[in-house]
Amino acid sequence: MAFEYEILTTKFPNSYGATPLPDGLTINTETGIISGVPTTIGSTLVTVSATDAAGTGSAALVIVVTVPPVITSSLTANGATGTSFTYQIVASQSPTSYSAIGLPSGLTLNPSTGLISGTPAAAATTNVTINATNAAGTGSATLVITIAATAPLITS
């Protein structure tokens, strides 16, 4: 994801600086614009500076690089009608919420934990879009849920 930040000052400096910058970022020393595509996840404390004939002013800047979640759980799940079903969405980068679009009848999602559960009502194969979200964005994948029919159970 592209990054851009402009160092703003009260005067008209003739040069700017920023160190240390996260990998993938550079500074244009004439305009004071830090830009690029960061390649390392984490926080970096950067000292930004502006210089003119009267001297150099500096300030601290924290650059935080994050990435959206990537779903890592299996993308297939099987169950049977009338039988308890569970599937856990697992994703990297500490998701804070989950969603699922197109769940089969009888199944629900806990948006805080990513657990899909319930008792499927009908036999079918369904493509479900699953999502995991954090402050940096949303990661998505297609989960194929196959629900098989079960034979009737004699209760007499």
- List pLDDT tens digits, range 96-139: 999 999 999 999 999 999 999 999 999 999 999 999 999 889 99
Q: Do 138 and 104 touch, CB atoms closer than 8 A?
A: no
Q: What is the pTM (predicted TM-score) of this model?
A: 0.69
Give the separation between CA 13 and CA 33, rounded to whole angstroms: 13
Task: Please give the class, per CATH, of domain 76-148.
Answer: mainly beta
Domain boundaries, the chain: 3-65, 76-148
CATH 2.60.40.10 fits 3-65, yes or no: yes
User: Given this chain, do its domains 3-65 and 76-148 carry the same CATH topology?
Assistant: yes
What is the pLDDT averaged over residues 55-72? 94
